[in-house]
């Protein structure tokens, strides 16, 4: 035999020399959950090792991550029901704890990249990403609320805004508002292909943001659809997105590759809470090696074409490679 592919697998050094895909701490954005108060810390029951932190403890977490090489953070707020209403008005209250936290993180760690979430569900008494009227999610009326929210986050110092709502036209609406108000350098990472997935459950537990009625299938994408992602990608690109995101990641590796092959924009993928929880739960049962499964999963997302990976494994990965 003239060709023996196993020769390039015969030692660790040679395998590393010819490996086609390499992960780096530079690839990651670490999602963090913020709660009001001080010295407050509670573990998310369905996400072992992931916590809701008050700002003082989150600052310590961010500092540790920066030392490990994780430099980008997507901060999600967990609001009590008492601060939620139909119109998500707390989202653009300049004195709300979320916006204050963004200011403090950027003041303390100017080198860190802060990404924020633009959607109504953390602030909505209905638990939906858009405005609910007579059981329907109103698209254009929601854009007005998202615009106020996005501007407030940019004013607080956010580097990247992440519209996760899946309303039609929201990227263009937000881009126009940002530009009109002098925030031309604030980036938009659009949740371009966000599917109506079963893998979001633990995240909704973390924020207590599940819909109070119905589901999100009238605005999030159908898991059966593939080419539809190209329509969303084209619209988001034309409207001014700087990154295109696929969410979830592992069940949609084909969609990551599709967008990678058809777009010149960086492709991001969100390795979501349910994907994290599956590996952790199976690892606790002793059914799999959780560290190897984590590394293999993250590598598959990168191999599929993601330039940026949002993952709850980010810090754990950084701690492994730091050793």
Could you tell me where the DSSP H helices lie in 78-138?
A: 97-108
**In this structure, what is the dihedral angle of CA atoms 162, 210, 248, 157, given to the nearest 10 degrees?**
20
- Give the residues across from 73 on adjacent strands: 30, 114
CB neighbour list of residue 312: distance below 8 Å, 6 or more residues apart:
30, 31, 47, 49, 50, 271, 273, 276
Q: 44-47, long-range: CB within 8 Å, 24+ apart, which pairs?
A: 44/202, 44/205, 44/206, 45/205, 46/201, 46/202, 46/205, 46/206, 46/273, 46/277, 47/202, 47/205, 47/206, 47/273, 47/276, 47/277, 47/280, 47/312
Report which DSSP code applies to 53: E
Answer yes or no: 260 catalytic: no
Q: Which of 84, 194, 280, 315 is catalytic?
A: 194
CB neighbour list of residue 308: distance below 8 Å, 6 or more residues apart:
27, 28, 29, 189, 243, 266, 267, 268, 269
The pairing of beta strand 72-77 with beta strand 187-194: unpaired
Answer yes or no: 194 catalytic: yes
Q: How far apart are CA 211 and CA 225, in angstroms?
A: 23
Report whether 232 belongs to an annotated binding site: yes
Q: How far apart are CA 323 and CA 26, in angstroms?
A: 17
Q: Which of 83, 84, 216, 247 is catalytic?
A: 247
Binding-site residue numbers are 232
What are the residue numbers of the active site?
194, 247
Binding-site residue numbers for Mg(2+) are 232
């Amino acid at each position: 035999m003239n060709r023996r592919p196993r020769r390039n697998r015969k030692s660790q050094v040679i395998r590393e020399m010819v490996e086609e895909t390499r992960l780096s701490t530079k690839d990651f954005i670490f999602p963090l959950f913020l709660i009001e108060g001080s010295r407050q810390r509670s573990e998310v029951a369905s996400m072992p090792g992931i916590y809701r932190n008050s700002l003082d403890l989150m600052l310590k977490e961010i500092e540790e991550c920066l030392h490990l090489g994780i430099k980008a953070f997507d901060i999600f707020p967990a609001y009590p029901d008492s601060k939620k209403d139909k119109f998500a008005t707390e989202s653009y209250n300049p004195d709300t704890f979320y916006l204050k936290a963004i200011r403090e993180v950027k003041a303390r760690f100017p080198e860190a990249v802060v990404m924020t979430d633009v959607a109504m569900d953390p602030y909505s008494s209905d638990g939906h990403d858009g405005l609910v009227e007579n059981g329907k999610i109103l698209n254009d009326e929601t854009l007005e609320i998202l615009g106020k929210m996005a501007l407030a986050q940019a004013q607080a110092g956010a580097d990247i805004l992440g519209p996760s709502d899946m309303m039609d036209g929201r990227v263009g609406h937000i881009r126009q508002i940002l530009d009109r108000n002098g925030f031309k350098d604030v980036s938009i990472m659009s949740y371009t292909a966000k599917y109506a997935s079963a893998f979001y459950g633990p995240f909704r537990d973390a924020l207590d943001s599940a819909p109070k009625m119905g589901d999100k299938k009238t605005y999030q994408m159908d898991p059966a659809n593939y080419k539809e992602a190209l329509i969303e990608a084209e619209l988001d690109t034309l409207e001014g997105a700087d990154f295109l995101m696929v969410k979830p990641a592992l069940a949609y590796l084909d969609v990551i590759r599709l967008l990678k092959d058809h777009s010149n924009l960086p492709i991001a993928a969100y390795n979501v809470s349910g994907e994290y929880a599956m590996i952790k739960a199976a690892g606790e049962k002793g059914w799999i090696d959780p560290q190897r499964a984590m590394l293999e999963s993250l590598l598959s997302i990168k191999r599929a074409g993601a330039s940026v990976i949002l993952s709850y494994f980010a810090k754990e990965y950084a701690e492994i490679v730091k050793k």
